[in-house]
Amino acid sequence: MKELRTVYLFLIIILFSTYGYSQTPIKRVLVEESTGTWCASCGFGGIYFEHLKTNYPNAIPIAVHTGPGGQDPMAVFKIELYMIPYFSGSPTFLFDRKDFPGNPGSKPAISASNPWEYGLDTLDKYMDLVYNQLPLATVGITKSYNSSTRDLSVTITANFIQNATGNFRLNCFIVEDSVTGGVAYDQANSNFSGWTSGPSYLQTLIDAPAVISGYVHNHVLRETLGNPEGVAASIPTNVVSGSNYSKTFNFTLPVEYDENNISLVGLIQRYGPDVVKDREIVNANAVILIDETTSIVENEAEIDKIRVYPNPIESSSIVEFYVSSTGHVTCELYNLDGRKLKTIFNRKLVQGEYRETLSNLSLTTGSYLLVFKQDGKVKSKKIMVQK
């Protein structure tokens, strides 16, 4: 699968070089899993989400809890009811809500109830069909949050990089990690416990009891600030490349949600009457509600969410970043003594998310700075080299 992803990325780079870009706008894949504390094989979803973190860093996992008869305390009835046409059971997975013919369900989801027939490799095959595609638009997220009142205001922006026609909608999901509780939050595991053999990635579940006490639930979908299909008319039917459209959502975070474990997921969705053919996720993005960037000083460049991986950097690493305001952007490499070593790129970028490859830097072991400059303002990201 890694070879296939490399081919996709190579083709995308060629396409953007044709149009005068060297930076690649980022496509993130929304991976939704139908799960439940009552579901004896749903621990596999947690295994797959950990697999995504390592192998598909631009995936955004979402655990949609369902609870027939109120069995799952994390289930949200309006979401559970809405997703019935999408999920064929639990655990099943959706990749950008795309239609993959030949799979069960009215909106064909990928069933993972049998981890031998639908294991990690099978799920990766479907992920590879949508991962690293050329995005129609990128998603920007800005937020303000008052910890005292727990009032949240979040603005989701669609930054279109292609002309498009359709029923596009903006949305925002509230997602929580590290959710635990009493016995109602314990995870059923009877489909795995007691096995004497199985795929190595299931070993932790094979070793676990039939009911896992104190199970930690991650990526839990808590709320959709628009309805599950987004806000109607939040984006015009006809859009042109370079246009931006925003929607602001206001929400008071319930006291039972841990603000330190909350993420905000922004979405551009395509809507239509046919669940299978007309509805899908165009692109997505995610930010942590409370993080170190909350108190960025006003004179810094309007470059946000700088991420380098792997870091310490290898022969070829990736830097991802978000340009929140269209303008001329320079990225330069400095040592810690303040001496410039290399210009990574220097050009005008429109608002949106981008990815740049760091290679052939010829650096010795130590720490360095990637310095982004925009309109006389500066922001830096520390990188390390280990040999």
Determine contact, residues 353/321, Cβ cutoff 8 Å: yes
Contact 115, 51 (CB under 8 A): no
Q: Higher confidence at residue 287 or residue 101?
A: 287
Q: How many CB atoms lie within 10 A of CB 116?
A: 9
69: left (phi over 0), alpha (psi -120 to 50) or beta: left
Over the stretch 13-61, which tens digit does the pLDDT of each residue have? 333 333 333 467 889 999 999 999 999 989 999 999 999 988 998 999 9
Among the residue ranges 189-193, 205-209, 214-218, the one predicted with the least confidence is: 189-193
In which band, very low, low, confident or very high, does the pLDDT at 133 lie, cut at 50, 70 and 90? confident
Q: What is the pLDDT of residue 4?
A: 43
9 falls in which pLDDT band (50, 70, 90)? very low
At 196, is the pLDDT very low, low, confident or very high (cuts 50, 70, 90)?
A: confident
Is residue 301 very low, low, confident or very high in pLDDT (cuts 50, 70, 90)? low
Q: Which domains does the chain have, with CATH numbers?
A: 2-292 (2.60.40.10), 296-385 (2.60.40.2550)
Checking if the pLDDT of 175 tops 90, the result is yes
pLDDT, position 366: 81
Residues 62, 63, 68, 70: what is their CA dihedral angle, to the nearest 10 degrees? -110
In the predicted structure, residue 106 carries a pLDDT above the cut 70: no
Look up residue 254 and give its DSSP letter. P
Which CA distances in Å does 5 have to 95, 128, 193?
Answer: 15, 6, 34
Q: Determine the pLDDT at residue 116.
A: 54
Helix axes 43-55, 120-130, angle to 10 degrees: 50
